[in-house]
Structure 1
Amino acid sequence: MKKLILGIFIICNTLLFACSNGEAESNSGDTLVVGAVGDPQTYNPDARPDDNFYPMAQNIYSRLIKLNNNQEIIPDLAKDWEVSEDGTEITFNLHENITWHDGEPFTSSDAKFTLDMIIEQNGAAVDNLNSMEKVEAPDDNTVVITLSQPDASFLGYLAWYATFIVPEHIYDEDNWDSGTSVEPIGTGPFKFVSHETGVNVELEHNSDYFGDTPKVDRLIFSINSDQDTQIQAFYNGEIDILGGAPPIAEVENIVNSDEYKITPTVWPSRQYLAFNVAEEPFNDPNIRQAIAYALDNEDITMRTDGEIGEAATHFLSPSYEWVLDDDYLIPESNQELAKAKLEETGLEPDENGNYLSTSIDMFESGNFSDIATVVKEQLSQVGIELTINSSEYAAWQEKVVDNQNFQITLLGGYQGPDVGAITSRVSTTGDSNFMGYSNQELDELLDTAGAIFEEEERASYYSEVQRILLEDMIIYPISEWVGSDPVHAYIEGDPFSEEAIGKTGFAEYTYVELTE
């Protein structure tokens, strides 16, 4: 099963791409400073999860293929790739004459070594690559991956997290999980210079990079775990790029200022309600439907996400526009219908006008508290009394995930890097389905769709998935996670920008230019 990140952090139409090399030139002397929330725990980006190192790794290392901020798969070490007719073999054609930062030649054997080691050493992406049966390197510039079965999500996971290609001559079994004791050697646009704990990580541009040479000479990640201090450093000009989403309270100030630029981008990470369908009262679909009609997610989003918020409209993420079916939209708010649904179950209002008393469990994250408060207010208008139970994440996980001791819970989390990630949340065996929900028809649709690479055919199955999610209403999507990374107005070519997004990873700064 695929690993998903519960916290709020993070396949395009064709399977064959080409990219250009060596066009950009470094503005020697320019230094770009990007905010970072913490120190790297490991310099091997594949050995274990390390979100602190992830943005840095995207600039030091390369992958066979990578995801951009539009959730599209784009080339990296592989200049193009092909999928066999039966969907079980993927051939990657690599750029030639690539060197590691220490001058050693890169070959396809490094890619084979890396992917084999992720499996053998239980690397961070091991579950995501579980359909990978064999990796071969028939020549220095070709990698062939054989899958145990067709898996349309495989390319997305290969392009996503903890799949950076690392040098075989550095990372043998003894050095694989070596923390920060072995300096990072990659093939990426920047080379590692130094790391001062609690202060910064410094990189320099790689003039021998196989792609476009970075436009800045130095890249510094300035480390500060306090969000308020970090945003103030950004305002003061000590940081050029914030390095993540700003506090919600600061969004309006940034959006309305000529000193900054922000490019809101919808990611497949959503905030939603989930119901415990194995227990009363939410084992009754009429009550789940009543909740849906009682809520107005446009109002919730406007009041809790600020100016760049986006209310959910479909049961699948809009990041995968090709799969959305407008016949199965999230219901519009209808208080009278909500009350009618409650009465269909035989419920009658008590002396306080309440048909039902229930509770929502949540952990402290982002604007969850604000969302729960508005949900409580809206439900009260149709005679549903809601108690909010807020706890630390560990306590929430023990109660909700481990023991399924809840009625409603509020969740967020990355639902990518492929639309098939919804399987983990709603299928009978999904590792993020703790709602007690099981639907054989839905399981079969998800399994079939997951083995189809062609989007039009695949979309027909996900249309039926959306129909079932609407009918059964086991989840109620509230809002989309809108990614944004504020930059100063003098910055051009950030990873969200039009000029860079087709070429860079999530946090890759190859094309950034300081214009003053």
Structure 2
Amino acid sequence: MKSFNARHALARCALAAASLLAYAAPSVHAAETPQYGGILTAILSPEPPTLNVAVQQVAGTQLVAGKIFESLLTYSFDLKPQPSLAKSWEVSPDQLTYTFHLQPKVQWHDGKPFSADDVVFTYTKILANTPRTRTLMANVQEVSALDPQTVVFKLKQPYSAFLYALDIGGGAILPKHLYDVDTPLAQNPNNNAPVGTGPFKFKHWERGSYVELVKNEHYWKEGRPYLDGITYRVIPDSASRRVALEQGTVLQAWLQDIEPVDVPRVAKLPTIKQVYKGYEYWSTMYWIELNGGREPFSDKRFRQALMYGINRQFIVDKIMFGSGTVATGPIHHNTRFYDANVKPYPYDPKKAVALLDEMGLKPDAKGVRATVGLIPLPYGEMQRRMAEYIKQNLAKIGVMVTLENTDVGGWTSRVGNWDFDMGANGVFQYGDPAIGVSRTYLGSNIKKGLMFSNTSQYNNPKVDELFNAAAAAPSDEARQKLYSEVQRILVEDVPVLWLADTNYSTLLNKRVHNAVTTALGVVDSQSETWLSKE
């Protein structure tokens, strides 16, 4: 295995060369000539609470915001950093200084010039307080602008995942002239009428119906975008979403837009193509958040009993219909540094009951040992069925579950503010455990009111030590050793109930070309996407 320095040097050479190339359409459609014009219609389900990804990082927000805002980098299918707002970059030999050279002649959608000051402001004043990027910024000593086209990040210590952390989800750059104001970030009126630098401009949001984006005629990437616009249609009903895709009234569906039970049939339709690429960076994992600040969740034996009491293989086979794999622990099997050599939790109600007995949780006259609430993930029929099935499973071991349904805003508010017993969640892993995994378990990331942080309030100094050491370790070999150890500890402690690693695909009408060109899939800018004639 190459050392970090050697590997990083090779990567820098390759990336420097790549950054000098023109932005050509991917070769998969090289034989076809891209056509200008047309509106891409896509499903948006559920409707997000905001369009500012710095405020809210739910999937729907990222999907729309990825066309409006941009970040310094994007990522290839093999998770190599690629240019976005940064056209090129250098890393100092001691890996403590990252210098980014910005694309020239970029402007905000309102016509104001984009500059390094926007990047510095965004990272120091906005992103430093978000659940993902605050962990990154804890390793940053200073962010400065050398000149209007050059930004420098100086780190306190080496952070091996740094170049993996600059995507649209955790690194969307906001306009300083609109956000450097006295209004609190969450109340800024631009959150729901956003101004970015991306290939598409916000036009209108008809709540409950659609979000309309139009072509940015002054986009910095010459000749892009091809589309005249993108319209995201809010379609709450799963059957209606499927019919819309089948009939061609929408041309794009991702994640759980189409229920897993329907995907195999829909994918075989002559008008539809199924694309599996575009989820490499996300590697979504489903789990159940447990409020460790409440009894009986504060007892490790109760958490282990819940793991033994849920038939996760049934969930994967009969509810997810093959769109997932039983999770073994905190790291998705497609994410770097995954290790399957951890304590297993097969479906074993007898072992679950034995643990509850050991705790002294005896059944009452109705067989109930404990009563808890569960907030289902508000993302479609599959999630509701999953919650119902978990309720049935846990009733068999004497744990009575009350389902507490809410919308996306209510879900993020309650879980983020620790107002829950159990909360279903689907979390992106973002290519590297230092970015998408550690945030869930670090004691330093326990912050009430902040969704997608350590909302279970798990606190283990040894786990913190291992995560921090792995983030700074100089080689992949050293990082693997540390991450393997932290996986074994977490799987023993069970701070959350890991259910399934997802294996999603995107369903597209065959008129849609180049919708998926990076590891970010349809969340990325889609500046290369074009439509053939009907």
Find the partner of 2:98 among 90, 102, 119. 90
Q: Which residue of 1 aligns with 2:24?
A: 23
Post-superposition offset of 1:466? 0.8
Distance in 2 between residues matched to 1:21 and 1:56, nearest whole Å: 26
Post-superposition offset of 1:425? 2.4
Alpha-carbon distance change, 350 to 503 in structure 1, aligned in 2, over 3 angstroms: closer
Q: Which residue of 1 aligns with 2:462?
A: 441
Post-superposition offset of 1:482? 4.3
Alpha-carbon distance change, 449 to 61 in structure 1, aligned in 2, over 3 angstroms: same
Alpha-carbon contact 2:117-2:176 (below 8 Å) kept: no
Find the partner of 1:476 among 478, 497, 506. 497
1:30-69 map, 5 Å: 30-36=38-44, 45=52, 48-49=55-56, 54-67=62-75
Q: Which residue of 1 aligns with 2:3?
A: none
Alpha-carbon distance change, 117 to 515 in structure 1, aligned in 2, over 3 angstroms: closer
The range that moved more, 458-467 or 413-422, is 413-422
- Say whether 1:506 aligns with 2:513: no
Distance in 2 between residues matched to 1:141 and 1:67, nearest whole Å: 22
Match of 1:63, SS state, is: coil
Q: Which residue of 2 aligns with 1:232?
A: 243
- Say whether 1:147 aligns with 2:155: yes
- How does the TM-score come out when normalised to structure 2? 0.74
Match of 1:315, SS state, is: coil
Distance in 2 between residues matched to 1:308 and 1:444, nearest whole Å: 34
Q: Which residue of 1 aligns with 2:117?
A: 112
Distance in 1 between residues matched to 2:159 and 2:394, nearest whole Å: 41
Match of 2:399, SS state, is: strand
Find the partner of 2:472 among 430, 451, 456. 451
Alpha-carbon contact 2:376-2:423 (below 8 Å) kept: no
The range that moved more, 67-76 or 452-461, is 67-76
Q: Which residue of 1 aligns with 2:30?
A: none
Mind listing any 5+ residue stretches in structure 1 that lack a counterpart?
A: 1-12
Q: Which residue of 2 aligns with 1:8?
A: none
- How does the TM-score come out when normalised to structure 1? 0.76
What do residues 10-66 of structure 1 show as CA deviations (whole Å, max 9, x unaligned)? xxx8563224314346513444333446999988x5774486664444334432112
What do residues 74-101 of structure 1 show as CA deviations (whole Å, max 9, x unaligned)? 3213234343344432122445x44437
Alpha-carbon contact 1:46-1:118 (below 8 Å) kept: no
Alpha-carbon contact 1:288-1:474 (below 8 Å) kept: yes
Distance in 2 between residues matched to 1:114 and 1:437, nearest whole Å: 33
Alpha-carbon distance change, 211 to 317 in structure 1, aligned in 2, over 3 angstroms: farther
- Give the residue type in structure 1 aligned to 2:97: E
- Give the residue type in structure 2 aligned to 1:480: D
- Give the residue type in structure 1 aligned to 2:340: D
Q: Across the two proteins, how many residue pairs are aligned to each other?
A: 488
Q: CA RMSD in A?
A: 4.4
- Say whether 1:192 aligns with 2:201: yes
Post-superposition offset of 1:272? 1.9
Alpha-carbon contact 1:66-1:159 (below 8 Å) kept: yes
Match of 1:447, SS state, is: helix
- Give the residue type in structure 2 aligned to 1:304: I
Distance in 2 between residues matched to 1:219 and 1:34, nearest whole Å: 11
Post-superposition offset of 1:477? 0.7
Q: Which residue of 2 aligns with 1:386?
A: 399
Q: Which residue of 1 aligns with 2:4?
A: none
Match of 1:258, SS state, is: coil
Alpha-carbon contact 1:290-1:339 (below 8 Å) kept: yes
Alpha-carbon distance change, 401 to 258 in structure 1, aligned in 2, over 3 angstroms: same
- Say whether 1:179 aligns with 2:190: yes
Match of 2:228, SS state, is: strand
Distance in 2 between residues matched to 1:359 and 1:80, nearest whole Å: 52
Distance in 2 between residues matched to 1:492 and 1:465, nearest whole Å: 42
- Say whether 1:488 aligns with 2:509: yes
1:276-291 map, 5 Å: 281-291=296-306
Distance in 1 between residues matched to 2:303 and 2:202, nearest whole Å: 55
Q: Which residue of 1 aligns with 2:82?
A: 74
Mind listing any 5+ residue stretches in structure 2 that lack a counterpart?
A: 1-6, 26-32, 447-452
Q: Which residue of 2 aligns with 1:6?
A: none
Distance in 1 between residues matched to 2:464 and 2:377, nearest whole Å: 32
Alpha-carbon contact 2:117-2:148 (below 8 Å) kept: no
What do residues 134-154 of structure 1 show as CA deviations (whole Å, max 9, x unaligned)? 333335553211234444454
Post-superposition offset of 1:396? 7.1
Distance in 2 between residues matched to 1:314 and 1:469, nearest whole Å: 7
Distance in 2 between residues matched to 1:142 and 1:491, nearest whole Å: 36
Find the partner of 2:332 among 313, 317, 325. 317
Alpha-carbon distance change, 512 to 247 in structure 1, aligned in 2, over 3 angstroms: same
Distance in 2 between residues matched to 1:287 and 1:422, nearest whole Å: 23
Alpha-carbon contact 1:63-1:76 (below 8 Å) kept: yes
Alpha-carbon contact 1:243-1:485 (below 8 Å) kept: yes
Alpha-carbon distance change, 328 to 489 in structure 1, aligned in 2, over 3 angstroms: same
Post-superposition offset of 1:463? 0.8
Q: Which residue of 2 aligns with 1:359?
A: 372
- Give the residue type in structure 2 aligned to 1:325: D
Alpha-carbon distance change, 116 to 247 in structure 1, aligned in 2, over 3 angstroms: same
What do residues 107-139 of structure 1 show as CA deviations (whole Å, max 9, x unaligned)? 7xx133333255346787574663344333335
- Say whether 1:218 aligns with 2:233: no
Q: Which residue of 2 aligns with 1:412?
A: 426
Find the partner of 2:340 among 308, 316, 326. 326
Distance in 2 between residues matched to 1:356 and 1:193, nearest whole Å: 52
What do residues 421-444 of structure 1 show as CA deviations (whole Å, max 9, x unaligned)? 433322334324454543222221
Give the helix-richer structure, 1 or 2. 2
Post-superposition offset of 1:237? 1.4
Alpha-carbon distance change, 106 to 350 in structure 1, aligned in 2, over 3 angstroms: closer
Distance in 1 between residues matched to 2:377 and 2:232, nearest whole Å: 26
Post-superposition offset of 1:464? 0.8
Alpha-carbon distance change, 160 to 483 in structure 1, aligned in 2, over 3 angstroms: farther
Find the partner of 1:426 among 435, 438, 441. 441
Post-superposition offset of 1:363? 3.9
Alpha-carbon contact 1:47-1:124 (below 8 Å) kept: no
Q: Structure 1 vs Structure 2: percent identity of aligned residues?
A: 22
Find the partner of 1:293 among 308, 324, 329. 308
